[in-house]
Homo-oligomer: A and B are copies of this chain.
Amino acid sequence: MTLPPGDSAPGKPEATISIDEDRSVVEAKEPSLHRRILEDVEGKILSGEWPPGHRIPFEHELTEQYQCSRMTVNKAITELVKRGLIERRRKSGSYVTHPHAQSAVLEIHDIRLEVESLGLPYRYERRARLSRAAKAADRRLMELAEQARLVEISALHYAGAQPFCLEERLINLAAVPEAINESFEATAPGAWLISQVPWSAAEHRIRAVGADARTAELLAIAPGTPCLVVERRTWSGGVYITHVRLTYPGEKHELVAEFAPSHPKQAL
């Protein structure tokens, strides 16, 4: 393999293997070759130069263009496949995907951090805790066994003097038996649970509701005020660990999700 320092290869920046006499000209860390290929191809796709359905050059053509081995090209393209920008078909080639669904990445932080990042003092207040048998409604929510026992917690998270969020939680004692000994008076159940149980998946449901009388009172808002409700179910290998409903009052709270174009597959 050759890698001639200044020619043929498209858009190639100078200074490749030249650390011979003048080490001072370090040239600001050029990225690795497979990254450059990835970025070039990504750029062509995002700019529209290669529209959806377009067949990108074969691996052996890119190998030729960049004067590198096939493995290097393959690494770049494989990554773009994982990101959902490209689809590959044997014998046929690699094609720019048609964007279907956008997949947004919603970052969900601990409530304490959320509050503190607003520059407000955080306070946690547990309101109620009881352990009881699962009712039919709980089993619908969490797919529990008939005789399952739960811990039910109601708590408020404050930002300054204002209620920031109402937390209503169920914990499956079959999955987290230690919860029976925990009062949750000082520590919020979310933080406690992470330290106890590794978990493998979760599901979020986000909707807008009007505050009912009880919720309104707890959150110090008028009944009927629109609230953002996030319901999260968390489980670990098929076993439900916890169900939590977080109710954020008023129109102030926002969930922010950053996006990248994608259609199937993994998140990045």
Interface digits, A211-249 against B, CB 8 Å rule (1 contact, 0 not)? Answer: 000000000000011111100101011000110100010
Q: Which of A21-29, A97-105, A140-148 contacts B (4 or more CB under 8 A)?
A: A97-105
Kindly provide the distance from the CB of A80 to the nearest chain B CB, expressed in whole angstroms. Answer: 12
When the two chains form their complex, are residues A103 and B99 in contact, meaning their CB atoms are under 8 A apart? no
**Choice from B48, B109, B193, B248 contacting A101 with Cβ under 8 Å:** B109
Which chain B residues border A226 with CB–CB below 8 Å?
208-210, 224, 226-227
Inside 8 A of A110's CB, which chain B residues have their CB?
Answer: 100-101, 266-267
Judge whether B251 and A201 touch: CB under 8 Å.
no
Q: What is the minimal beta-carbon distance from A5 to any residue of chain B, in angstroms?
A: 19
A102 to B261, Cβ gap below 8 A? no
CB <8 Å contact, B237 and A46: yes
**Binding-face segment, A10-18, A86-94, A131-139, A252-260:** A252-260
Q: B268 and A190: CB pair below 8 A?
A: yes
Tell yes or no: A107 within 8 A of B by CB. yes
Closest to A171 in B: B268
B256 near A267: Cβ-Cβ < 8 Å: no
Q: A180 near B: Cβ within 8 Å?
A: no
Q: How far is the CA of A226 from the CA of B212 in the complex (A)?
A: 12
Docked-complex contact B254 and A241, CB < 8 angstroms: no
Is there contact, CB below 8 Å, between A194 and B99? yes
A255 touches B200 (CB 8 A): no
Is A262 on the interface with B (CB-CB < 8 A)?
yes
Chain B residues near A264 (CB-CB < 8 A)? 194, 198-199
Residues from chain B with Cβ under 8 Å of A228 in the complex: 206-208, 228
Q: Which residue of B200, B242, B266 contacts A191 across the interface (Cβ within 8 Å)?
A: B266
User: For the complex, what is the distance from the CA of A106 to the CA of B108, rounded to whole Å?
Assistant: 12
Decide if B105 touches A200 in the complex (CB within 8 Å).
no
A156 to B203, CA, bound (A): 29
Considering the complex, give the chain B residue whose CB is closest to the CB of A106. Answer: B104
CB neighbours (8 Å) of A210 from chain B are 225-226, 251
Is A126 interfacial (CB-CB < 8 Å)?
A: no
Q: Is the CB of B105 within 8 A of A207?
A: no
Given the interface pairs A108-B101, A190-B268, A266-B194, the reply to whether A224 lies near B227 with Cβ below 8 Å is no
Question: Which one of B199, B209, B227, B229 contacts A261 once the chains associate, using CB atoms below 8 Å?
Answer: B199
Closest 9 pairs (CB-CB, A-B): A48-B198, A208-B208, A226-B226, A202-B259, A104-B106, A208-B228, A204-B257, A193-B268, A208-B226
